[in-house]
Copies of this chain bind each other. A is one copy, B any other.
Amino acid sequence: MSFSISHSAALAKKAARQVANLSSVQKNALLTDIANSMLEQTSQILAANEIDLRDGKDNGLDAAMLDRLSLSPERIKDIANAVLEIAAQADPVGSISNIQRMPSGIQVGKMRIPLGVIAMIYESRPNVTIDAAALCLKAGNAVILRGGKEALHSNLALAESIKLALQKHGLDPAAVVVVPDTDRKVMNELMTLNQYVDLIIPRGGEGLIRFVSENSRIPVIQHFKGVCHLYVDNAADETKALKLLENGKTQRTSACNSLETLLVHKDIAASFLSKAATLLAEHAVKVHACERSISYFQGATAATEEDWHAEYLALEIAIRVVDDFDQAIEHIEDYGSGHTEVIATQDYSNAQAFIRRINSAVVMTNASSRFSDGGQLGLGAEIGISTSKLHAYGPMGAESLTTEKFIVMGEGEVRA
C-alpha cells in the first residue's frame, strides 16, 4: 500500500477541525503526554536513530551533519522538556480583543483562531519533528511534517510517540502526519495541495527555501539568510560596542543571528578599529575590510561587493567605515537581508532614528544580535524566523501559527 500525500492532507484537514476545538487544558494534557510518551519510548527512538546514523556514515555524511542527526537519552529528555515548556505557555487561541460598538449598533471585535493545517519541510534535525508538532498543536493546528531522508527512521519513531499520545486522548492520529516517503515527488505534490494546507514553512538551506517559494501554491514563510549588521556610531560606548562585536561574531558563528558586517562611523574609526583589531585577532576572525579600514587589520583582504552580501557563518567579517549615520542606514538598506541589525550608540536621537528607519525583522539598540531568537525575545519555542514581511516577520512562536477573525454581536441590526 503506497503512501498518498493528498489523502493524508485531506485527513489532516479533517483532524484540524477537532484540534481547533480542543480547550487549553486538553491541549496541554496532550502535550504533556507527548513528552511522557517520548521518554517511555526512548529505547525504540534510539534504535531507530542508530539506523539513520549507520546509513548516514555509509553515505558519507560529515561530522556536523551526523551530530545534528544524533539523539541520546539526554537529547530526548531535552526535547521532551521543550514540549513541556510549550505546554506551560499561554494559549494563543480564543483571545478576543478590541470590541467596539459601531454607529449601526453592532459590536465588533477580533478573536484569535488556528490557521488549519501547517506543513513543515525541513532537513536532518529530528528535534524539529517534535518541536514543530508541539507548537502547531498548541496553536490548534494539524501538521504535516516532511523531514529529510537522513532522519527518516528517527522521525517515524518520534511520530509513533505522538500517535500514542493522540490515541490516549481519543484524538484523530491524522492531526500529525509524518511523511514516510521522502521522495521529492511527494514534496512537490504537497506544495500543490492548497485545498488542504494553509501554510508551508521550509527550514533549511537557501536552495530549499527558494525552491519551495517559487513552486508552492500554498503561502510560504521565507527565512532566507541572515546578514546581520552592527553599526558603531560616533557616539558609541566603545566598551559596549566591543562586547556586542565579540558576542555577535564569535559566540556561535553558524547561527543566522550572528554578525556578518561591521559598520563604523569615521569619527570613531581610529580609536574603535584598533581595539576591534586586537579583539578579532584574539578570536582568529578573518577580516574583509574597506579601503579606509584595511590598514588596521593585519592579514585582512580587501572587501569586495560580494562581501557586503556575504553570510559567512564562520569566523569571518566584513568591515566598512561610513561617513555618517545616513550612510550606515543606506548600507543596511542596500545589503541587509531583513533579519537583525544593531546600533551601538549613546546618542538618544540616533538610537531613536535607527529603530524608526531600519525595517529589518529585529532592530536593536545596544544589544547583541544573538538575542534575535524566539526564546530570547519571549516567544517560548520558535518554529522559524521569517525574513519576509507577510503574515509574520522575525522569530515565530505559537501565536504566528494563528490568525484573527472578526466577530460581530448584534441585536437584529440590519444595514440601511
Residue numbers of A with Cβ under 8 A of B are: 17, 20-21, 94, 100, 102, 104, 106, 108, 111, 113-116, 194, 198-199, 213-214, 217, 219, 237, 239-240, 243-244, 246-248, 251, 333, 351, 355-357, 359-368, 370-372, 376-378, 388-391, 393-395, 403-415
In contact, A367 and B408 (Cβ under 8 angstroms): yes
Q: How far is the CA of A412 from the CA of B413 in the complex (A)?
A: 56
Partner pick for A413 among B367, B389, B391, B404, CB 8 A cutoff: B367
Q: Are B390 and A394 in contact (CB under 8 A)?
A: no
Chain B positions within 8 Å of A377 at CB level: 102, 108, 406, 408
Some 14 contacts from A to B, beta carbons below 8 A apart, are A106-B376, A108-B378, A111-B363, A194-B213, A244-B414, A363-B405, A365-B408, A366-B410, A366-B411, A366-B413, A367-B408, A367-B409, A372-B406, A394-B405
Q: Are B359 and A113 in contact (CB under 8 A)?
A: yes
For the complex formed, measure the closest distance between the CB of A377 and the CB atoms of chain B, giving whole angstroms: 5
Most B Cβ at <10 Å: residue of A94, A355, A371: A371
- Minimum CB–CB distance for A223 against chain B, Å: 14
Q: Is the CB of B376 within 8 A of A104?
A: yes
Nearest residue (CB) in B for A220 is B219
CB of A100, distance to nearest CB on chain B (Å):
6
Select one of B104, B214, B406 contacting A394, CB under 8 A.
Answer: B406
Instruction: Report chain B residues within 8 Å CB of A413.
Output: 366-368, 371
A214 to B102, CA, bound (A): 37
In angstroms, Cα B415 to Cα A12, docked, is 39
Specify the chain B residue showing the minimal Cβ separation from A359: B113
Pick the 4 closest A-B CB pairs, nearest first: A367-B410, A240-B412, A247-B414, A370-B415
Q: Please name the residue on chain B nearest to A375 by beta carbon.
A: B102
| Shortest beta-carbon distance from A295 to chain B in Å | 28
Q: Which of A214, A243, A411 has the most CB of B within 10 A?
A: A411
Instruction: Point out the residues of chain B lying under 8 angstroms from A20, CB to CB.
Output: 359
CB pair A243–B404 under 8 Å, yes or no, is: no
Cα A362 to Cα B65 with chains together (Å): 47
Say which residue of B115, B237, B247, B415 sits within 8 Å of A368 (CB atoms): B415
Q: Which residues of B contact A356 (CB under 8 A)?
A: 21, 94, 111
Give every chain B residue within 8 A of A394 (Cβ-Cβ): 405-406
Shortest beta-carbon distance from A245 to chain B in Å: 10
Which residues of B are found within 8 Å of A412, using beta-carbon distances? 237, 239-240, 243-244, 366-367
Please report the C-alpha to C-alpha distance between residue A327 and residue B394 in the assembled complex, in whole angstroms: 41
B393 with A390: CB separation less than 8 A? no
Residue in B214, B243, B370, B393 whose beta carbon sits within 8 Å of that of A405 in the complex: B393
Taking the nearest CB of chain B, how far is it from the CB of A415, in angstroms? Answer: 4
